Amino acid sequence: MFARTVDWAIEHGIETATFHILTPYPGTGLHRRLSAQDRITCTDWDLYDTRHVVFRPANMSAADLEAGYGRAYRDFYRWGSILRGASAHHDLLAGARHAAYAAGWKKFEPLWDLVIRAKRAGMMLPVLEAILGEFGRRPVVGSRGSGVWSQSGVRSRLVESR
């Protein structure tokens, strides 16, 4: 089921995907039901993060579920998968946006983590805008040499050289 889900998403040009493991949070009906069935296997609340199996699944082992989760991420964000997903778009610009966004989302995740941990996310705003915004900028009507451009509703002042 993991491979079929990933293949479907790639074939349909889905740009990003997040995968989660069912997590029976305390106080929920799911947690009460799994507890009544004696299927809760962990009370380390740090592992209740949708990335770890904290219950006994019905139709596979916990190890198989965690392995499938990890494999889904790896398979979806392989370079070949990113390029295959980008080629699912019939428009060159949409395909380029797909590749840039998917690569920016996961391939550079360690860089984003470092930036966030260094509390320098504000300095990275232009990079984030370039990745998440539309390709191509349109001048604001009536700006007559002011250097004001609009991109996806965000305005920024560009330095003009004379």
Delimit the domains of the chain by residue range.
2-89
CA-closest candidate to residue 76, choices 50, 110, 48, 105: 105
Q: Which residues of 138-149 are buried (b: 16+ CB within 10 A; e: fewer)?
A: eeeeeeeeeeee
d(CA 20, CA 8): 17
Helix (H, G, I), strand (E, B) or coil at 151: strand
Whether the Cβ atoms of residue 150 and residue 137 lie closer than 8 Å to each other: yes
pLDDT score, position 139: 46
pLDDT score, position 124: 63
Please state, rounded to an integer, the average pLDDT across all residues of the chain. Answer: 81
pLDDT tens-digit profile of 30-54?
Answer: 999 999 999 999 999 999 999 999 9
The model's confidence at residue 109, banded by pLDDT at 50, 70 and 90, is: confident
pLDDT score, position 112: 72
pLDDT score, position 128: 65
Phi and psi for 116 in degrees, rounded to 5? Answer: -65, -45
Tell whether the model's pLDDT for residue 141 goes beyond 50.
Answer: no
Tell whether the model's pLDDT for residue 69 goes beyond 60.
Answer: yes
What is the mean pLDDT of the segment spanning 72-89?
94
Tell whether the model's pLDDT for residue 97 goes beyond 60.
Answer: yes
pLDDT tens-digit profile of 115-136?
Answer: 777 766 566 667 767 766 654 4
Q: In what order do the strands lie in the sheet with 148-151?
A: 138-139, 148-151, 154-157
pLDDT score, position 101: 86
Whether the Cβ atoms of residue 51 and residue 67 lie closer than 8 Å to each other: no
